Amino acid sequence: MPKQEESKTVNYSKDQMFDLVADIDRYDEFLPWCNNSKIINTSIKDDIKIVIADLEIGYDQFVYTYRSEVKLHKDKSQINVRNLDGPFKYLENNWKFVTVNESECEIQFKIDFELNITLFDILMRKFFDLAFQKMVDAFISRANEIY
């Protein structure tokens, strides 16, 4: 059951980084191992936009689609994700965006998951730190590209 936490200060505003992470339809353009991303449904409850989305992840012949519920907080302070269906027994990840100053923010990212597929779960445990860092770097590189 890999768990990871990361905190980074970046030279972008809280709103910019929130918008980048919330742009699920563009994940396949920059996120490693994401072959396709698609928003299925959106709704609003209180101050939270709830997005149901499918991500197709994989490499070579090992390709899986998983559905998640993504909660986008109206104040752009956090994004909470949980698995609904797919190759995960469970998946939870949380993003927090904290303003440092007008042009910087701190991103706090936590992820915890377990795969249903034993072989992949064993492989992910072994290579999780590398894969996690690659995903974090992909979001920062994307920010560099679009801002």
Task: Calculate mean pLDDT across residues 13-25.
Answer: 96
Q: What is the pLDDT of residues 53-110, one digit of tens each?
A: 999 987 777 788 989 999 999 999 999 999 999 877 888 999 999 999 999 999 999 9
Phi, psi at 141, each rounded to 5°: -65, -40
DSSP assignment letter at 75: T
Instruction: Please tell me the pTM assigned to this model.
Output: 0.84
pLDDT score of 124: 56
Which numeric CATH code is attached to 3-146? 3.30.530.20
